[in-house]
């Protein structure tokens, strides 16, 4: 899958996008026929033990993106650019985004977007780096805005629509809308020709994205707009407790898990 294929899919069958941070998860996500795999900077709080996404580095994103890309055959692999790897200096931003394609084998990058990413999106797409924009709640700005719903008043809704149009004109191939009212999700979807991918943005977007840990039930908490389709956390806890109990009771390793070499007996006498 290429970014240009996604660009043409607005209004068709709903697009699917899920995060993945490692090779085994990416393999399962890809096999399920998901259109886009996002190596989200949510890897920071979901897998690396950080309190938020802010400490995630370019190196960490490149490593996780490469693992996902190695295990993905069909879906578009999108590397989420971490906090301050773009937006301060365009030369650095081009280098960091370029690394995701050159070294980590991503197909595209995602930028948490605002007025400061319009020109950068233009520059990156000119250079051949496909860009997915991200509007609404942008968690990298949590110290400034908090982790709240966005686009809830007329001014901020108008800003979101305007930014979606400016990023489309700058060459973005799609736009993620996070935690905005469903009617704003619908208005943005009508206003742009590129696909809108919603997360907590209602049913009118051209596609949906969720965090895989929430979908499979591995995350401790689930966002109010998300849904668990499994209980991987419960299954992991059962398996791990099962192992600990079996070792403590002397049931593991059993006969079938051990082997002896008769000729070695002499060494131990």
Does residue 175 belong to the site contacting ligand KIV (CB under 6 A)?
Answer: no
Does residue 60 belong to the site contacting ligand KIV (CB under 6 A)?
Answer: no
Stretch that binds ligand KIV, among 37-45, 92-100, 142-150, 233-241 (CB under 6 A): 37-45
Q: Is the peptide bond before 117 cis (omega within 30 degrees of 0)?
A: no
Does residue 20 belong to the site contacting ligand KIV (CB under 6 A)?
Answer: no
Closest to 71 (Cα-Cα) out of 111, 34, 109: 34
Does residue 213 belong to the site contacting ligand KIV (CB under 6 A)?
Answer: no
Does residue 209 belong to the site contacting ligand KIV (CB under 6 A)?
Answer: yes
- Of 43 and 157, CB closest to ligand KIV: 43
Can you read off the two tokens belonging to residue 203?
Answer: 């049913």
Q: How far apart are CA 80 and CA 41, in angstroms?
A: 6
Contact of 96 with 86, CB cutoff 8 Å: yes
Contact of 205 with 185, CB cutoff 8 Å: yes
Residue 178, SS3?
A: strand
Q: How far apart are CA 248 and CA 240, in angstroms?
A: 12
Residues 76-95 that bind ligand KIV (CB under 6 A): 80
Q: Give 28-65 as a 3 state SS string.
A: HHHHCCCCEEEECCCHHHHCCCCCCCCCCCHHHHHHHH
The residue whose Cβ lies closest to ligand KIV is: 40
Q: What is the DSSP letter of 163?
A: H
Pairing of strands 76-80, 36-39: parallel
Stretch that binds ligand KIV, among 40-48, 67-75, 91-99, 244-252 (CB under 6 A): 40-48
- Of 16 and 42, CB closest to ligand KIV: 42
Catalytic residue among 60, 112, 168, 178: 178
Does residue 218 belong to the site contacting ligand KIV (CB under 6 A)?
Answer: no
Does residue 194 belong to the site contacting ligand KIV (CB under 6 A)?
Answer: no
- How many residues in the shown chain lie near ligand KIV by CB under 6 A? 10
Closest to 74 (Cα-Cα) out of 40, 10, 29: 29
Which of 16, 19, 113, 140 touches ligand KIV by CB under 6 A? Answer: 19
Whether 178 is a known active-site residue: answer yes
Does residue 211 belong to the site contacting ligand KIV (CB under 6 A)?
Answer: yes
Residues of this chain that bind ligand KIV (CB under 6 A): 19, 40-42, 80, 176, 178, 199, 209, 211
The residues annotated as belonging to the active site are: 178
């Amino acid at each position: 899958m290429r970014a240009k294929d996604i660009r043409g899919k607005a209004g068709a069958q709903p697009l699917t996008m899920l995060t993945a941070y490692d090779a085994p998860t990416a393999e399962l996500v890809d096999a399920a026929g998901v259109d886009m795999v996002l190596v989200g900077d949510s890897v920071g709080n979901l897998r690396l033990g950080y309190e938020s996404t802010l400490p995630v580095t370019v190196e960490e994103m490149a490593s996780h993106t490469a693992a996902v890309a190695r295990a993905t055959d069909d879906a578009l692999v999108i590397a989420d650019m971490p906090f301050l790897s773009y937006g301060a200096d365009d030369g650095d931003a081009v280098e960091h985004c370029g690394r995701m394609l050159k070294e980590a084998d991503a197909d595209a990058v995602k930028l948490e977007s605002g007025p400061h990413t319009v020109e950068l999106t233009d520059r990156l797409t000119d250079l051949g780096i496909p860009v997915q924009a991200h509007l609404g709640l942008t968690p990298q700005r949590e110290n400034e805005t908090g982790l709240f719903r966005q686009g809830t008043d007329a001014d901020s809704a108008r800003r979101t629509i305007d930014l979606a149009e400016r990023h489309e004109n700058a060459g973005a191939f799609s736009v993620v809308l996070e935690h905005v009212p469903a009617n704003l999700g619908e208005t943005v979807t009508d206003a742009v020709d590129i696909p809108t991918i919603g997360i907590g943005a209602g049913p009118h977007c051209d596609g949906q994205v969720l965090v895989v840990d929430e979908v499979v039930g591995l995350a401790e908490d689930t966002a109010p707009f998300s849904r668990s389709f499994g209980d991987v956390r419960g299954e992991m806890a059962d398996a791990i407790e099962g192992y600990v109990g079996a070792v403590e009771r002397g049931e593991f390793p059993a006969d079938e898990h051990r082997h002896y070499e008769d000729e070695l007996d002499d060494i131990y006498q």
